[in-house]
Structure 1
Amino acid sequence: MPSLNVSFSDEEMEGVRAAAAAEGKSLKQYLHDLGVREMHRKQFVAGATAWADRLRQEFDEAFPDEVPSARRGGVAAA
């Protein structure tokens, strides 16, 4: 199984150890889960953005007063 060596300053390592302990996880499991969680977050954001992009025109037509002024060609209020 692939692995990775990661360097931390003493202060960073202290913080990471404290965060792992707060979640009741080993340092190895905490860092693994952190990376996987970030990967899933990015996939979720990409999917949500694609979904919103697909529905944007339909929403704008159904709710014309809700279209942000920048997309209407107007100037946003300062």
Structure 2
Amino acid sequence: MPSLNVSFTEEEMEGVRTAAAAEGKSLKQYMHDLGVREMHRKQFVAGAASWADRLRAEFDEAFPDEVPPSQRGRGAAAA
């Protein structure tokens, strides 16, 4: 697999080094794990959204008076 060359400012690089050290990992391992975690996060979010979409009709039927946040007026609170 080809290597990837990524540029950081000195300030960003210091933050990455600090985060890696806090997790007790080498910089290389930390960057690898970061990419893998992001991939898993995206898969989780896609799965959760799909699950919510499948249950939306059932929820709407069970709670007909509940208004989704995207359809509430500005400043309106949930019931």
TM-score tier by shorter-chain length is: 0.7 to 0.9
Give distance in 1, aligned partners of 2:8 and 2:20.
15
Counterparts of 1:1-78 in structure 2, within 5 Å, are 1-68=1-68, 70=71, 76=73, 78=75
Q: Which has the higher mean CA deviation after the structures are superposed, 58-67 or 17-26? A: 58-67
Deviation per CA, 1:20-43: give whole Å up to 9, x if none.
Answer: 001000000000001110111011
Runs of 4+ aligned residues of structure 1 deviating over 6 Å after TM superposition are none
CA displacement at 1:67 relative to structure 2? 3.4
Give the CA RMSD over aligned residues. Answer: 1.7
TM-score (norm 1): 0.83
CA displacement at 1:66 relative to structure 2? 2.1
Give distance in 2, aligned partners of 1:77 and 1:40.
34
Aligned residues: 74
CA displacement at 1:6 relative to structure 2? 1.1
CA displacement at 1:77 relative to structure 2? 5.1
Greater RCO, CA 8 A, separation 6+: 2
Q: Residue 7 of structure 1 aligns to a residue in which SS? A: coil
Pick the structure with more helix per residue.
1
The letter of the residue matching 2:53 is D
